[in-house]
Amino acid sequence: RNGVPMRTKLVSSLALLAGGALLVALAALAFFFVLQPKWDEDALHEVVSAAKRTGAKVWLASGMIQKDWEIEALRHAVRTTGLPILAGNHGACRVAKEEGVPFVADWPMNVYNSVTVDWLREHGASRVTLSPELTLAQMREVARRTDVPLEALGHGRLTLMTSEYCS
């Protein structure tokens, strides 16, 4: 693209779609690890077009920490595309609710119990991702106490704490 290397997230998303992914969560606020003031609309539209060709779904991934301007950029992306949100924070859940699009409560929401799961459902969550810190037995107990669709991460080591500033 005019001598500029392809964006990592765009390439990764397109590769996932080409490989048969049924769903891609796209976070297009970063360009070479530098935040930009709006979503990369070219990348977003390219991924959405590729997803339509393959029959896959695209969700907007909010991230774990968002400033007010990032929430408004997410809101603009939702208004532009109508895509649902993979919500990593409460602000993204609110955008989804206000804009009338589905959202999934992602793992950074730190969901440990059925009360939280049910509260998120009452506020519009279509699915809830349980905290990766839960054991399988704890996940079963949460699932036993709710009828909300749940998901869990099967992964190696995960980042369990994120701080905006490191020293």
pLDDT at position 8 is 47
Closest CA to 85 of 20, 35, 28: 28
Query: Distance (Å, rounded) from C-alpha 38 to C-alpha 76?
Result: 8
pLDDT < 50 stretches in the chain? 1-8, 31-33
pLDDT at position 21 is 82
| Cα distances (angstroms) measured from residue 33 to each of 46, 92, 114, 156, 158 | 20, 21, 36, 24, 20
pLDDT, tens digit (0-9, with 9 covering 90-100), for 9-26: 566 777 778 888 888 887
For 17-81, the DSSP string reads HHTT-SEEEE--SEETTEE-SS--HHHHHHHHHHHHHHT-EEEEE--S---HHHHHHHHHHHHHH
As a whole number of Å, the CA-based R_g of the chain is 16
Query: Distance (Å, rounded) from C-alpha 154 to C-alpha 156?
Result: 7
Contacts of 11 (CB under 8 A, 6+ apart): none
Half-sphere exposure of 141 (CA within 13 A, CB side): 9
- Token reading at 39: 């979503």
